[in-house]
């Protein structure tokens, strides 16, 4: 269970997050939405200890996150950031195998390799598994990194805009995969999403950030209301019911 208590984050004069208090559900899929610059990525960064809070505490299972030994934390929590540009020339399979690094420390076992193969299947990359990642398209590369995080097999998975660069088919497939992970394996997935409809369709909880503060926190039914969404995004948004799921329209 992730808790943020009175968390604030600032870079120099710029206040990115202001007095955040959150308790994220133990299992299930939580989406974080909000306009650009609202602090969503920073929020995830703090939760994963990649960034350090200027004030307040971040707790994982009631233990301050910076006190958890690095290797142990890597087996409990994994994060995929938005910006995964790397100049390294690594084979797809090797990169996903590195996802198992917290467990094998460089010497993967049979078990590790089996999990890697499974993850390659999940992201539909069987055909290119022996290629170098710099030979892949942006979308394929994104899927490799997602597979790597899935292979890490942690209880909590944090993903920062994982659907960037993905086409519709693969976006849906990834969201379905994440949903399945929550349902069947009892994991906790926290995703930052730009597409509100994906959030509504697949999450158990939606958290909305604006200007570095939490302005909404609830189930999709509660969040997917005209008034709430319009307030979050400062524009006119209409919510309709399509096939029993709330969907919003904002194109005009």
Minimum distance of other proteins from residue 11's CB (angstroms): 13
Site residues for other proteins, 94-113, by CB under 8 A, read 94-95, 98-99, 101-102, 105-106
Which one among 6, 66, 72, 240 touches other proteins, defined by CB under 8 A? 72
Given the DSSP bridges, would you call strands 238-242 and 28-33 parallel, antiparallel or unpaired? Answer: unpaired
Q: Which residue, 22 or 157, is less far from other proteins as judged by CB?
A: 157
243 forms part of the interface with other proteins (CB under 8 A): no
Which one among 74, 113, 136, 215 touches other proteins, defined by CB under 8 A? 74
Q: Which residue, 106 or 244, is less far from other proteins as judged by CB?
A: 106
Q: Which residue, 84 or 247, is less far from other proteins as judged by CB?
A: 84
What DSSP assignment string belongs to 189-232? EEEE-S-HHHHHHH-SEEEEEETTEEEEEE-HHHH-SHHHHHHH
Taking the C-alpha atoms of residue 40 and residue 27, their distance in angstroms, rounded to an integer, is: 20
Q: Are 122 and 177 spatial neighbours (Cβ–Cβ below 8 Å)?
A: yes
Taking the C-alpha atoms of residue 45 and residue 79, their distance in angstroms, rounded to an integer, is: 8
1 forms part of the interface with other proteins (CB under 8 A): no
Minimum distance of other proteins from residue 72's CB (angstroms): 8
Residue 57 pairs with which residues in a beta bridge? Answer: 5
DSSP state for residue 69 in the 8-state scheme:
-
Taking the C-alpha atoms of residue 61 and residue 17, their distance in angstroms, rounded to an integer, is: 22
Chain residues that interact with other proteins, rule: CB under 8 A: 48-50, 70-75, 78-81, 83-91, 94-95, 98-99, 101-102, 105-106, 132, 149, 152
């Amino acid at each position: 269970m992730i808790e943020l208590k009175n968390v604030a984050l600032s870079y120099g004069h710029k206040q990115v997050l202001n007095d955040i208090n959150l308790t994220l559900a133990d299992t299930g899929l939580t989406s974080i939405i909000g306009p650009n610059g609202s602090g969503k990525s920073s929020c995830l960064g703090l939760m994963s200890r990649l960034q350090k809070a200027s004030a307040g505490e971040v707790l994982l299972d009631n233990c301050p996150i910076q006190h958890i030994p690095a290797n142990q934390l890597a087996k409990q929590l994994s994060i995929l950031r938005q910006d995964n540009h790397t100049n390294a020339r690594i084979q797809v399979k090797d990169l996903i195998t590195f996802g198992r690094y917290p467990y094998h420390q460089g010497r993967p076992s049979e078990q590790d390799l089996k999990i890697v193969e499974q993850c390659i299947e999940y992201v539909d990359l069987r055909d290119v598994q022996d290629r170098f990642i710099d030979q892949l398209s942006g979308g394929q590369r994104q899927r490799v990194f997602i597979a790597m995080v899935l292979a890490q097999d942690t209880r909590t998975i944090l993903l920062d805009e994982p659907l960037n660069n993905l086409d519709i088919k693969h976006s849906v497939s990834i969201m379905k995969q994440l949903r399945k992970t929550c349902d069947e394996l009892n994991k906790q997935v926290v995703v930052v999403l730009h597409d509100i409809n994906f959030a509504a369709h697949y999450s158990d909880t939606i958290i909305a950030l604006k200007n570095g503060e939490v302005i909404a926190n609830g189930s999709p039914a509660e969040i997917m209301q005209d008034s709430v969404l319009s307030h979050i995004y400062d524009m006119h948004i209409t919510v309709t019911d399509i096939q029993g799921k709330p969907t919003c329209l904002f194109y005009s």
